[in-house]
Amino acid sequence: MWSVLVAVAPTLHLALVLLVPMGASGIVFVATTNSLLQLHSTGAMRGRVMALWAVVFLGSTPIGGPLTGLIAGRFGPRAALALGGVATVLTGIAAFGALRRLRRAGAAGAAPLSLRRADEASPAFARSRPPTPGDDRS
């Protein structure tokens, strides 16, 4: 959203002011995603999850960077910012819809596999952590 606002800002001064919340939003996104991934993965899988996150997050830069540069070179930096902002908003809407469907499915019965912790979904992962009081594992 902030990228779109920066792209349509009529003056340089307004664009510079809008870049502050745009950058802050990016930092909040990265920190929140990083924290949630670590908090919601088991200890046995945390390193693998974070490695996959790094590959997806940093590995997309060699694709997105040149593509954004191509768009900015051909249509201008405003177009590149606007396209990135629109793509971000559409991705957010799609993710919101997908999460809503998963939550509805979880409310209707047992949580789908993707919503369960790895140690609850697979006995192999359950054996990788020490038992907790009240644990009914054999």
Within a domain: 136: no
Are 20 and 94 in contact by the 8 Å Cβ rule? The answer is: no
The predicted-structure confidence for 46-103, as pLDDT tens digits, reads as follows: 999 999 999 988 888 888 899 999 999 999 999 999 999 999 899 999 999 998 998 8
Determine the distance from the C-alpha atom of residue 85 to the mean position of all C-alpha atoms in its chain, rounded to a whole number.
Answer: 15
Provide the strand spans (E) within 61-133: none
CA distance 92 to 73: 27
The reported pTM is 0.65
Tokens of 78: 């405003």
Q: Among 24-28, 38-42, 44-48, 58-62, where is mean pLDDT lowest?
A: 58-62
Cβ neighbour number for residue 118 with a 10 Å cutoff:
19
The predicted-structure confidence for 108-131, as pLDDT tens digits, reads as follows: 765 555 555 555 555 555 555 555
Looking at the structure of the chain, the number of domains it has is 1
Within a domain: 91: yes
Within a domain: 134: no
What range defines the domain where residue 93 resides? Answer: 2-126
The H-or-E segment that residue 3 falls in is helix 2-8
